[in-house]
């Protein structure tokens, strides 16, 4: 008589960890190699770079970038604020597959001649939403 035992297998799903190079190019204290940013900071830096990069600024990839820099020189009103929100939404949706945007608000700050941006997004493998706030102003 032959007995076959079946063993139960347990599989665990490991969440993916996102890593990017630190754009300050600081050296790692032990390996002396370029440091890496991990998870939330890697995604936040990527979003910041996408929003602040103008079209045709990245060599060989003219499609990457947003018109945010050009919109800062338009009249400061609700229409420009709405276009700014859509532009940020579009560049993140098109070029950052690691996130899903929940909410964007662009509030004109007439005294400081810029926009207060609040961006709430969800990293694909995470459960907690992340909110970042920054100020966009034109630079001559």
Mean pLDDT of 97-111: 94
pLDDT digits over 33-88, tens only? 777 777 788 888 889 989 999 999 989 989 999 999 999 999 999 999 999 999 99
- Beta pairing partners, 122: 100
Among left, alpha and beta (phi > 0; psi -120 to 50; other), residue 46 is alpha
Rounded-to-10 torsion of CA 55, 59, 62, 67 = -10
CB 90 within 8 A of CB 121: no
DSSP state of 51: H
Q: Is 118 a residue whose pLDDT tops 60?
A: yes
pLDDT for residue 12: 54
Q: Is 3 a residue whose pLDDT tops 60?
A: no
- Beta pairing partners, 26: none
* More confidently predicted of 133 and 9: 133
The pTM of the whole model exceeds 0.85: no
pLDDT for residue 26: 78
Q: Which two tokens stand for residue 40?
A: 């939330």
């Amino acid at each position: 008589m032959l007995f076959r035992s079946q063993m139960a297998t347990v599989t665990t799903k490991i969440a993916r960890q996102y890593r990017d190079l630190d754009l300050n190019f600081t050296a790692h204290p032990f390996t002396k190699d370029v440091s890496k940013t991990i998870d939330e900071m890697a995604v936040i830096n990527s979003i910041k770079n996408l929003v602040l990069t103008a079209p045709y600024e990245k060599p060989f990839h003219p499609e990457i970038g947003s018109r945010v820099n050009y919109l800062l020189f338009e009249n400061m009103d609700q229409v420009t604020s709405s276009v700014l929100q859509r532009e940020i939404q579009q560049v993140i949706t098109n070029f950052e597959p690691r996130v899903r945007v929940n909410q964007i608000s662009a509030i004109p700050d007439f005294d400081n001649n810029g926009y207060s941006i609040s961006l709430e997004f969800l990293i694909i493998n995470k459960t907690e939403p992340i909110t970042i706030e920054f100020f966009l102003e034109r630079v001559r």
